[in-house]
Structure 1
């Protein structure tokens, strides 16, 4: 029986401020075997893990990620917006997460946030970092920017890619083949059991997002998805453990 990958969305973001080291560490504690996070770049060229192009929501700063240096970003409190107990949390550099999982076997889903701000050359930079940590086998690169995914596959055929999309992509397994992509990171409602089966027959995995309701988790597990992206890795871990025990 193939184990479904339990991807913690921005870490264990239901319990800790998203895309912080606290959130990533908590995800591992709660049973996640995958971590999903977002990659952008600072003004001085550092790859950092943050979802929004603006710093406003998570740090209170009105600037954009692209307009601050790494030192400026690292000085900002990225935890208090969630809870004052996390006031010491900062927006991490990519290398901090790669170092955390280096010897753990954790799958890392790195989403390139380059649909609004394009960050020229970010694909090469990300791949260089992944290879430097010898993590090519543990990484999936995803993006809503499918041109970027195609480029990543050209640059690094050995690193898996996942196509992010929201709604009714027609025969997505055929589309994935045009990008040489390995997975479909579909919004949770854009998944049907027959599509999962057809994609699997073509060697394409489904990793739907963002699935927090247990009934929805069960539905998608019954469909046979290869992974689920969730804010609650503990909920998914409990369901997977229960299904594993039942199967034995």
Structure 2
């Protein structure tokens, strides 16, 4: 039985400030087999890892990610909001995360945050970075912006894509196959056993988000999902350890 991918949502975000290097490092210590993070662009075109399009919630500053230079973003504190112990944590660059996981048996799920802000040239930039680091086999690109994922697929057929969605879709597996996606990343309420099976029959994996409840994890594993996106990789790691014996 192939492992269930244990994908840490924004890193170990239950115990560390999300989308920081400390959160990514901690998630690996807690048993994650994958890391999910959010990619945006600084005003000078650098790929940075932060969820919100604005800085107020996790970086204690006013304004938009897109309007700040990489250096300005690096001067912000991305840890103090979570707990004083993490004061001084920085907004990471994509390169730093690549450096952490390259050559390890870790899946990297990069979510392009280009639904609200259409970052021009983002797809080209992210693919160039993946190729520069030889990460083609380790990365899966996801987005709620499915047109962007089609663009990624055209630019780099060898890099896997995954469709993020919140609501129920009609035959999502057929839609995914048409877009040449490798996986569906549905919100946890939008997934059924039949869809998981039908997707798998077309070679398409299902990795629902964001599941922190043990019973729900178990239910999804029983449905046949290939991975789970979670804030608590240690909880999922304990559960999958039971399965593998």
TM above 0.5:
yes
Match of 2:63 in 1: 63
Match of 2:153 in 1: 153
Q: 1:228 and 2:223 equivalent?
A: no
Query: Matched residues in 2 for 1:234 and 1:23: separation?
Result: 13
Residues 86-101 of structure 1: matches in 2 within 5 Å?
Answer: 86-101=86-101
**3-state SS of paired residue (1:157):** coil
Query: Matched residues in 2 for 1:72 and 1:215: separation?
Result: 43
Query: Matched residues in 1 for 2:53 and 2:195: separation?
Result: 33
Query: Matched residues in 2 for 1:46 and 1:35: separation?
Result: 20
Q: Which residues of structure 1 form unaligned runs of 5+?
A: none
Tell me by how many angstroms 1:193 deviates: 1.0
Query: Matched residues in 2 for 1:244 and 1:12: separation?
Result: 23
**3-state SS of paired residue (2:190):** coil
Tell me by how many angstroms 1:149 deviates: 0.4
Match of 2:21 in 1: 21
Q: 1:138 and 2:141 equivalent?
A: no
Query: Matched residues in 1 for 2:45 and 2:198: separation?
Result: 41
Tell me by how many angstroms 1:194 deviates: 1.3
Q: Deviations along 1:202-244, whole A, 9 cap, x unmatched?
A: 1110000000000100000000100000000000000000011
Query: Matched residues in 2 for 1:102 and 1:59: separation?
Result: 27
Match of 1:206 in 2: 206
Query: Matched residues in 1 for 2:15 and 2:233: separation?
Result: 10
Match of 2:49 in 1: 49
**3-state SS of paired residue (2:110):** strand
Match of 1:164 in 2: 164
Match of 1:38 in 2: 38
Query: Matched residues in 2 for 1:173 and 1:84: separation?
Result: 44
Match of 2:238 in 1: 238
Q: Which residues of structure 2 form unaligned runs of 5+?
A: none
Query: Matched residues in 2 for 1:59 and 1:142: separation?
Result: 24
Q: Which runs of 4+ in 1 moved over 2 A?
A: none
**3-state SS of paired residue (1:137):** coil
**3-state SS of paired residue (1:161):** strand
Match of 1:108 in 2: 108
**3-state SS of paired residue (2:27):** helix
Query: Matched residues in 1 for 2:2 and 2:189: separation?
Result: 23
Give me the CA root mean square deviation: 0.5
**3-state SS of paired residue (1:189):** helix
**3-state SS of paired residue (2:137):** helix
Query: Matched residues in 1 for 2:16 and 2:214: separation?
Result: 20
